[in-house]
Each structure stands twice: as structure tokens, then as C-alpha cells.
Structure 1
Amino acid sequence: MDIRQLATFHKVGTLLSFTRAAAELKYAQSSLTAHIKSLEESLEVSLFDRLGGRIELTEAGRRLLPYAEQMLTLAGEARGAALGSEEPTGALTVGSMESITSYRMPMLLEFFHHRHPALQIVLRPSLCAETCHALRQGLFDLGFLMEAETRHPGVQTEVLGSEPLTLVAAPSHALAQAEKVTTEDLRGVQVLSAEAGCAYRELFETELNDGTGESLPFLEFGTIESIKRGVSAGLGVSLLPTATVADALEAGTLVSLPWAIPFTVYTQIAWRRGKTLTREMRVFIDQTMRFLTEEYAQ
């Protein structure tokens, strides 16, 4: 049993795909299969069940997986210690949504670019439910969530702050001059939103549907910028994180509607519960807490 075999096993065990694991590790399929076979022979157990076109970890494989992760973490730290380097190195895969990546993280990413250039931050676009699943499966090292809930099965979180939300419309919209906007008012207008799976969209949708007995149609757009353009063109109203519309409100292309938002969402940094945090993960979490908690406190 060697580190290469454990790294191969860990990758296959988290992805549950020989093909995807070979692509990510840049191995030929035959080499990857040979690593797994050699590891199984040295341990004298089967680590995977082959079920037609898919695979599953055996009971032995499930027991080995967390140990493989710990050994790979220790191997990375030992390598850094032997080289005499205290600087974070390697890559961190981080799941994040557009509103955080584009509007909250630039200063944090700039800090890592200049202060820790040997650490590669790989951002993966992902909605909250997808991020939690990827963290539990070991596909992401860390992730950002924006949800009302702060407890998630199998996932550990730190709250960075409550995320302010703003209901916006074009200055020419029928509700733009209203002194107060009610939920009933909003049931009678077109709503533009992000795709299903976005936490604040789902909370907004639930609020509008409450007591109506019918599902109100939302006009879905692919990105926040496209939503803002659609709203400014008079296509409808939208509920978005305040940070994403601050520039448009200042420029006057959008206006804030006076609706009392009945829910709160919290931006959180998350990782798999029970996972041994590497030096690189600890540095990223610490600096994220330092940069973003100060920003949310303003």
C-alpha cells in the first residue's frame, strides 16, 4: 500500500467513477485500474462493487476511505515540513454561487494571489444543495452557502453574516412609486429570478405562494447580471442580494421597492463534518472569516 494507490483509491471512492477519476488524475484507465487492483491485493479485500455501469464502495472501502484521506493530508504536511516551507501550496476546490464569487470574494482572492501565490483556489459554480452534496462526497474541499438554515447534515459551517436582500424594479415599474409594497401586490406582477435551487429564490417563491394554492410563474434568468438587465428593461421585479444591485441603485437604473422581507439568509463557509482540515483549508477559512465578517459587519 503506497501513497499513489491511496490517492487513486480516494479519488475513485469520492467520485464513484473510474472514468472521471482517471481524467482528473490524468492517468490512463489501465493505470488507474492497476493501482486499485494492487491495493486490493495488498489488503486482501475488495474495495469496490462493480454493478453494471456503476460502482459502489464495499464495506471495507467505506471503512478505508476516511483513513486514506487522513494519510494523504499527513503526507502533504510531511512534504511541506521536509521542504521547510510554511507556505500553503497545492489547490483548494471551492464551491460558490455567483453573488459571492463576483461581489464578495474579489478582495479575498486578491489577498491569496499576492500573499499565497503557491495556493491555487479553484472556484466551482454551485448552488447550495449541490455544494452540500459535493462537500459530503469529498468533491469540494470547501464551499459557500447562502441559506436560512445554518445546520446541514454532514456539513460543518461558520456563519459569515446575514446577507441583506433588496427587492428591485425599474424606475418606470407600476410599483416603483408605492409607499408600501405588500405580498399581495407582488402576486400580481412578473417576478424575475435565478434558477431553481437558489435559497432566497425558494424562500421568496414560498412566501408568494403561501395561501394561494397555486404556483406562481417565475421568469428564470441564467445570471444575476441578466436578471438586472431584465428588471431595468421593465420585465418585472426581482429579489437579489443587496451587494449585487448596489451599483444599479446608485446609478438609478433600478429602484428599491419598500417590501418588508419576512425571512433572513446567512452566508456561510462550509466543509465536510469530521474532515481533517489541512493547513491550506485552515488558512482559507481563517482569511475568509477575517475578510468577509468585517465586510458583513459594515
Structure 2
Amino acid sequence: MELRLLTTFEKVATVLSFTRAAADLGYAQSSVTGQIRSLESSLGVELFERLGSRIRLTEAGERLLPYARRMGELAEEARTAVASAAEPAGTIAVGTMESLTSYRLPALLEYFHHRYPAVRLTLRPTLGDETRQALRQGTYDVGFLMEPDTEHEGLESEVLAPEPLALVAGPDHPLVGRTGLTAADLAGARLVGTEPGCPYRDLFEAELREWAPPFMEFGTIEATKRGVAAGLGIALLPRVAVAAELTSGTLVALDWEAPFTLFTQLAWRRGKRLPAHVRLFVEQARRLVREQSPTG
């Protein structure tokens, strides 16, 4: 079996689309189709079921996939081991979320840009469930999570830091200055938040479900902060994302303690052999994110 054919098979099996696999690999779609047929012919089995415009793996394809991934990882490890270049090189697909990309990762991204220019970081904006699924499928090399749970099926994960949250309001909001706020005290407040699926948004909504306050969705953190500053409601956000506004007085932290704790984590597929440049990324993420965290 040619490694090139197994690489193409793994990509098609991951995205379940010949068209998308061709685009990702830089091939014509006919070339991808031909490579899969060559692999099926050499093995004497069908690897995909064609269901109209959709495809899915056959039982034989399911059995082959982990071997294809392992052989691809071994090939990458071998290339790294014998490479003559002194500098680390390669591409890293990183799953992340807006709050981490904007407020936790700039130092890490800047460090790699200047120190390791041959390492190409591709940031993929996704939230928890989607990030975990992409890691299990091998679409992402590593992924940043912000979750209350630190164990994830099929993944290795490392806690980088707890992520403090702040319930914020505009300076003229009626809840500003009140002490010992409870969830019931927030029942009459209008809530401003990012999209569903965001971990702190979902946990906050679940905590207040008994009182069912309405949520005004702004999508992004920056839009959410502007809406809160304009007096449209209150929002629960990572403290690192509102640090500048709290310092300037544009936003005020309310006296309410979230009954849950989130942890910023870095994860990758369990059993995956990380190439040298990916291991370097993990090491520097561990160092830089921890250094800038409140407990770092």
C-alpha cells in the first residue's frame, strides 16, 4: 500500500467528502477518486459506500482507518527525525474559541511567528463539542477547550489554567453596588451573551433556567461587551476578556460568584504520536498560557 493512497483515504474518511478532501489536499477530485479506487483494488475490498451525494465508510474502511492514521503519524515522525533542517517546520491545525484566541493566545502566536517562522499555525474557530469531535477524527492536531470537565473520551488533555469569570454590567446598571447577589436577584435583568454552545454562556443559562430571564445574543465577545456597556443588559464573560474595561470603568464587575469553574485546556487525540513541531507547540502553550494566568 502506498502511503500517498493511505493519506488520501484518511482525509476522505475524516471529512466524508471527495470534493472537500480534494480541496484540502490540493488535488483534482478525479485524482482523489482514482486514488481511492486504486487502494480498494489493491486491498480487494470497498472502503466507502456511495449513498447518492453522500458517502460513508464500510466495515473494511472502519478497520483500515486507524492503521492509515498510525502510518501517517509514523511517516511524519520519521521525516522529523531525519530532517536536516535545524528549525522546526510543519503545519499545526489548532481548534480554538474566540475568547482564547483573542485574550490567551496572542503571546503564543507572536512567539511562534518570530521564533519558528517555518511552523505554520492554522487556527480553526470552533466550540467544545465540535473541537473534540475534530480532534478525535484527526482534523485538528491540537485543540484548546474551556470546560468544567477535564476528562474527555478519546482525548489526552492538559489543564493549563483555571479560567476566572466575571458577571459584568454597565456603570449605571441598577445591580451595580449591590452585594451578595444570588441567581434569583438576576431574574429581572436582561442577559447579553454569545452564541449557544459557548461553555460559560450555556452554564450561566442553565443556572438561571428556573427564573428564565431572556437572553439577547450578540454572537461575539466584543459585540457583547459593547452591548453591556451601552446598558442593554449584563453578561458573564471570562475575566481576562473584560480586564481592560474593568480597569477603565467602562464595565463593572457585579458581586455574584459563578457556582461552576471552567478550565482552559489543551487536548489532542489519545494515542496520537505528536510530531516534534506539535510537541514544541504544546510545551510553549503550557508555559505561556500558565505564565499569564492569575495562578501562573
**TM superposition score normalised by structure 1:** 0.95
Alpha-carbon distance, 1:22 to partner: 0.8
Counterpart selection for 2:292 from 269, 290, 295: 295
1:38 aligns with 2:38: yes
Alpha-carbon distance, 1:26 to partner: 1.6
Contact 1:191 1:237 in 2 (8 A): yes
Match of residue 88 from structure 1: 88
Amino acid at match of 2:174: A
Contact 1:99 1:224 in 2 (8 A): yes
Match of residue 259 from structure 1: 256
Alpha-carbon distance, 1:51 to partner: 1.9
Cα deviation, 1:33-88, whole Å, max 9, x if unaligned, reads 11111111112121111122211112221222122122222222333344313533
Match of residue 137 from structure 1: 137
Alpha-carbon distance, 1:216 to partner: 3.0
Counterpart selection for 2:224 from 227, 230, 239: 227
Cα deviation, 1:120-151, whole Å, max 9, x if unaligned, reads 01001111111111111221111111111111
5+ residue gaps, structure 1: none
Amino acid at match of 1:162: P
Alpha-carbon distance, 1:2 to partner: 1.4
5+ residue gaps, structure 2: none
Contact 2:48 2:57 in 1 (8 A): yes
Query: Equivalent residue of 2:85, what SS?
Result: coil
Number of residues of Structure 1 aligned to a counterpart in Structure 2: 295
Counterpart selection for 2:281 from 272, 276, 284: 284
Give the Cα–Cα distance (whole angstroms) in 1 for the partners of residues 86 and 74 of structure 2.
14
Give the Cα–Cα distance (whole angstroms) in 2 for the partners of residues 267 and 165 of structure 1.
12
Which is further off, 270-279 or 189-198? 270-279
Equivalences for residues 1-298 of structure 1 within 5 A: 1-210=1-210, 212=211, 215-296=212-293, 297-298=295-296
Contact 1:80 1:86 in 2 (8 A): no
Query: Equivalent residue of 1:167, what SS?
Result: strand
Query: Equivalent residue of 1:209, what SS?
Result: coil
Runs of 4+ in 1 over 4 A off after TM superposition: none
Which is further off, 112-121 or 74-83? 74-83
Cα deviation, 1:228-249, whole Å, max 9, x if unaligned, reads 0000000000000000000001
Contact 1:169 1:232 in 2 (8 A): yes
Change over 3 Å in CA distance of 1:260–1:79 after alignment to 2? closer
Contact 1:169 1:256 in 2 (8 A): yes
**Identical residues among aligned pairs (%):** 57
Which is further off, 169-178 or 70-79? 70-79
RMSD: 1.4
Alpha-carbon distance, 1:288 to partner: 0.8
Amino acid at match of 1:141: D
Amino acid at match of 2:280: V
Alpha-carbon distance, 1:104 to partner: 0.5
